[in-house]
Amino acid sequence: MTKKMLGNLMREAQKLQEKMTKMQEEAREKTAEATAGGGMVTAIANGAGQLISVKIEKEVVNPEDVDMLQDLIIAASNEAIKRAQEMVNAEMSKLTGGLQIPGMPDLGGMFGK
């Protein structure tokens, strides 16, 4: 490989890394929503994998069955985070053509993988 080819390859890799960094920043602004219990619990997560909102309908709050409410919150939260991860991964695939590129930011790591 010639120095010119290597230089071009390095410039392209740097451009791709800049685009990926920008995409990560934009992902923090995007959200994914999920519900559980027929819409009784709604959770919203952002593209950084953070749970940013939980809404609980009054009708599902039963002091005699706190376990059910906890399960619904966990289910909605996990699904919202999963959807946010899928959204970010889809965006990343568009950018990289589905390739895993060594040395590039791993968005899966944003979700504890």
pTM score, whole prediction: 0.72
* The predicted structure's pLDDT at residue 96: 72
| Residue 41 φ/ψ, nearest 5 degrees | -125, 130
| Residue 25 φ/ψ, nearest 5 degrees | -65, -45
Classify the C-alpha dihedral 35-24-110-95 as positive or negative. positive
Q: What tens digit of pLDDT does each residue of 55-102 get?
A: 999 999 999 999 999 999 999 999 999 999 999 888 888 877 756 555
Beta-strand pair 41-46/31-36 = antiparallel
Q: Which residue has the higher pLDDT, 64 or 104?
A: 64
* The predicted structure's pLDDT at residue 100: 59
| Average pLDDT along the chain | 85
Domains assigned to the chain: 26-97 (3.30.1310.10)
